[in-house]
Amino acid sequence: MDDLRIRDRNSLAEQLAAARQRIAELEATLSQLEHRDPLTGSLLSLRSFRAQLELDVARADRYSRPLSVAVLDIDRFRQLNLDHGYAAGDAVLMAVGRLIAERTRMNDLACRMGNDEFAILFGETDGSEALEALQRILVELEDLDAGSVRGVGVSVGIASLQPGQRPESLLAAAASALEQARAAGGSQAAVFAATPAVATADLAELRQGNVIAALASALEERDRYTGEHSESVVDLTARVGDALAMSAEEIEQVRTAALLHDIGKVGVPDEILHKPGKLDEREWEIMRQHPVIGERILRAIPGFGAIARMVRHEHERWDGSGYPDGLTATAIPAGSRIILACDAYHAMTSDRPYRKAMPHTEAMAELTANAGSQFDPDVVQALVGYLFGRRQAGLAAV
């Protein structure tokens, strides 16, 4: 009987010990969850971030050490949810959080502040150093794969700690810089300065415009036909984009991609680029690399991620027989589909060293005949409709 009681007591003691261990594990898990953002899992909760920000700001101010904060906001996130669904939006948030966690240093802290807004605390880092780090992150985000979404544009505001500044004021300065980045068109980073946002936006637009102009000029210097051809395609793409009810911002991106869609040809040897006759198979293999080269050139420019993707895929065909990736139908960026059709029409109706220009009516017939195989049928319908209307207006004027 005594042995039985001893065994019962031992069994009960073991069960109690196991229960206490399980409770301790659950408490640790709950404590961990309290400090982590529940959606991303890889980032701090806003509460934990704010607590650490208080400590780090006080320490940096006391010892006169540099410290910077960045606030990041996903561009057009509401529209992304409407276009792809809320599950896709959550997938994007998790992917962005994961990339931020992977691309920041161990001593940096990051959190999700709101629905589509993130914050990063850079210790021992001034504004220019934080800007350099974030520009690298922006370029990677523009090529991010998150389920049905490819590429994410993010606007960033950066502020550096000033003597005596409180955490709330530092975050407010970063938020102000974020508004400057948004006003400048988004998909870029801005460092807080005591200048009006409009002036900053104008400066950013000027810089981006200078980059586009410089690239277009380099393309025309390399091959005058290609440069002039690209400029002629730009207006057509804008007209088609408008007919397809694209937003003004989307149309501007397509226009830029159309202007620079052949920029990769700067990497094609002269003997192939300027060959007066038709190219052989080896030469075509080299020529077919120009969209990939173009993407690499544009991918290095912050804010050009969407444009770089359009340029890479502007030779993809609706039926999947194009290059470089063999994408099909709506997997091809809409801008690329528009550029392909407009590019083809302009090429068919232009004189080349090895052939004469095709009449307008024959080019229209070619577009229609290849809708659903080479071209997006909706794009062809919009392009043919515009060309027909322009033709009729021209005849009426006569």
pLDDT by 10s per residue, the chain, length 398: 566 666 666 676 677 667 666 655 544 444 444 578 888 888 999 999 999 999 999 999 999 999 999 999 999 899 899 888 999 999 999 999 999 999 999 999 999 998 899 999 999 999 999 999 998 899 889 888 898 888 898 999 999 999 999 999 999 999 999 998 887 778 888 999 864 444 444 445 545 666 677 676 666 655 555 546 567 789 899 999 999 999 988 999 999 999 899 889 888 888 888 787 788 999 999 999 999 999 988 887 767 888 989 999 999 999 999 999 999 999 999 999 999 999 999 989 987 666 688 999 999 999 999 999 999 999 999 999 999 887 666 544 43
Q: Can you give the pLDDT at residue 395?
A: 44
Q: Can you give the pLDDT at residue 22?
A: 67
- Please tell me the distance from the alpha carbon of residue 267 to that of residue 292, in angstroms, as a whole number: 10
Residue 275 phi, psi dihedral angles, 5° rounding: -65, 125
Instruction: Please answer whether residues 118 and 43 qualify as being in contact, where contact means their C-beta atoms are separated by less than 8 angstroms.
Output: yes
Please name which of 132, 130, 131, 160 lies closest in space to residue 66, comparing C-alpha atoms: 160
**Catalytic one among 265, 275, 278, 356?**
265
Bridge pairing between strands 154-160 and 189-191: parallel
Q: Can you give the pLDDT at residue 202?
A: 46
Q: Can you give the pLDDT at residue 29?
A: 44
Q: Can you give the pLDDT at residue 398?
A: 31
CATH 1.10.3210.10 maps onto the chain at 206-397
Q: Can you give the pLDDT at residue 354?
A: 60
206-397, CATH topology level: Hypothetical protein af1432 (1.10.3210)
- Please tell me the distance from the alpha carbon of residue 269 to that of residue 161, in angstroms, as a whole number: 50
Q: Can you give the pLDDT at residue 61?
A: 94
Q: Can you give the pLDDT at residue 267?
A: 86
CA 255 centroid distance within chain: 17
Q: Can you give the pLDDT at residue 356?
A: 83
- HEC-encoded secondary structure of the chain: CHHHHHHHHHHHHHHHHHHHHHHHHHHHHHHHHHCECCCCCCCECHHHHHHHHHHHHHHHHHCCCCEEEEEEEECCHHHHHHHHCHHHHHHHHHHHHHHHHHHCCCCCEEEECCCCEEEEEEECCCHHHHHHHHHHHHHHHCCCEECCEECCCEEEEEEECCCCCCHHHHHHHHHHHHHHHHHCCCCCEEECCCCCHHHHHHHHHHHHHHHHHHHHHHHHHHCHHHHHHHHHHHHHHHHHHHHCCCCHHHHHHHHHHHHCCCHHHHHCCHHHHCCCCCCCHHHHHHHCCHHHHHHHHHHCCCCCHHHHHHHHCCCCCCCCCCCCCCCCHHHCCHHHHHHHHHHHHHHHCCCECCECCCCHHHHHHHHHHCECCCECHHHHHHHHHHHHHHHHHHHHHC
Q: Can you give the pLDDT at residue 368?
A: 96
Instruction: Please answer whether residues 208 and 303 qualify as being in contact, where contact means their C-beta atoms are separated by less than 8 angstroms.
Output: yes
Determine whether domain 46-194 maps to CATH 3.30.70.270.
Answer: yes
In which residue are the tokens 């005594």 written? 2
Task: Tell me if residue 356 is catalytic.
Answer: no
Q: Can you give the pLDDT at residue 192?
A: 92
- Please tell me the distance from the alpha carbon of residue 306 to that of residue 151, in angstroms, as a whole number: 7
